[in-house]
Amino acid sequence: MAVANNLNLRVLPRGLVSVAAAFMLCVGLAAAAIAENRVNKVVPIEAVEAITLTGAAELIIRQGEAASLEVRAPVDVLANIKVEQADSRLILGQKQSKSFWWWFGSKNESSDVTFIVTVKNLSALHVAGAARVRLDSLNSPQLMLELTGAAQMHIGNAVLERLQVNLTGASRCNIDALSAHFTGIQLVGASQMQVNGGDTVELNVESVGASRLRAEAFKAVTAKVHAVGASQATVYASKALTANATGASNIRYAGEPVNIQADTAGASKVGSL
């Protein structure tokens, strides 16, 4: 059953500011007013396992026993925030204003919105637009991660049985440390991904367009990489590597895999670091 939350909040009037002070601080008052106008709203939610975020908001995900949602936003934006829950999926974003004058307003209002979500288990995350996502730590059986548009995500430390990452457009994902049995990565367009450490038993990569993958510090036992167009992928394989490169793509690998199967076409390349 879908649940929608009303985010209307009563705000106390602010104190008066003297004319002299306003004149002297005219440059700094705009930023200060924005900070003073931001309010926090706790929204009751049920257990969440999947999150969808659209727009230019910031999303902070924390892992904990009890599900919770806190929204931080300017007062005049709060009423336009959309929070819905359908079963275990939480849907976050902003309602698009239909007012003509909206086009003359601040273009950065949506970027002032922050969602802080606590989940016990996260299995799916879909982010679209110019959103920014931060997940410091996650220990879950599996995670399906999809980023589109100009979305950006940073993951600190993740321990998973299975991870599937799909990036399109100009989206970016950076992972500090990842431990997973299976890791699947699909990059399309100008998307970029970097894994700075960790290990996996099986790594499958598909890189298309002008996408980039840096994962030479992410130690895989076996790696399969398919690169098309002008894409670039750098991986690590300790036992076996299957690399297929076409167009002007470039596949580089670290480690000393015993079994290497490499196919190239056009101006593409496959080689060790």
Q: If 0-12 CB within 10 Å is exposed, 13-18 middle and 19+ buried, where does residue 114 land? A: middle
Instruction: Confirm if 118 and 60 have CB atoms less than 8 A apart.
Output: no
DSSP state of 230: T
Q: What is the pLDDT of residue 38?
A: 84
206/226 Cα distance (integer angstroms): 5
Indicate whether 15 pLDDT > 70: no
For the chain, how far is it from start to end, CA to CA, in angstroms?
52
8 Å CB contact between 72 and 37: no
Whether 38-122 and 123-273 share one fold: the answer is yes
CA geometry: angle 8, 14, 99, nearest 5 deg: 45
Kindly report the pTM of this predicted structure: 0.83
SS3 264: strand
Instruction: Tell which phi-psi region holds residue 194, choosing left (phi > 0), alpha (psi between -120 and 50) or beta.
Output: beta
> 37 pLDDT band (50/70/90 cuts)?
confident
How far is Cα 26 from Cα 65, in angstroms, rounded to an integer?
46
- What was the pLDDT predicted at 108? 46
How does residue 111 score in pLDDT terms, banded at 50, 70 and 90? low
Average pLDDT over residues 225-244: 98
Q: Distance of CA 215 to CAs 75, 94, 99, 136, 230, Å?
A: 42, 35, 46, 19, 18
72 burial level (CB within 10 Å; 0-12, 13-18, 19+): middle
- Mean of the per-residue pLDDT values of the chain: 87
Q: Which of 14-23, 42-51, 210-219, 264-273 has the lowest mean pLDDT?
A: 14-23
The pLDDT value recorded for residue 35 is: 52
Q: Are the C-beta atoms of residues 39 and 75 closer than 8 Å to each other? A: yes
Check: CB of residue 39 under 8 Å from CB of residue 9.
yes
Q: Which long-range contacts (CB under 8 A, 24 or more apart) does 140-147 make?
A: 140/63, 145/173, 147/171, 147/172, 147/173, 147/191
pLDDT for residue 98 is more than 80: no
Contact present, 264 and 245 (Cβ < 8 Å) = yes
Q: What is the pLDDT of residue 29?
A: 33
The Cα–Cα gap between 68 and 79 comes to 19
Domain boundaries, the chain: 38-122, 123-273
The CATH topology of domain 123-273 is: Pectate Lyase C-like (2.160.20)
Structure confidence by residue, pLDDT tens digits, 129-178: 999 999 999 999 999 999 999 999 999 999 999 999 999 999 999 999 99
pLDDT for residue 79: 87
* Domain 38-122 coded CATH 2.40.40.20: no
Other C-beta atoms closer than 10 Å to the C-beta of 70 total 14
pLDDT at residue 215 tops 90: yes
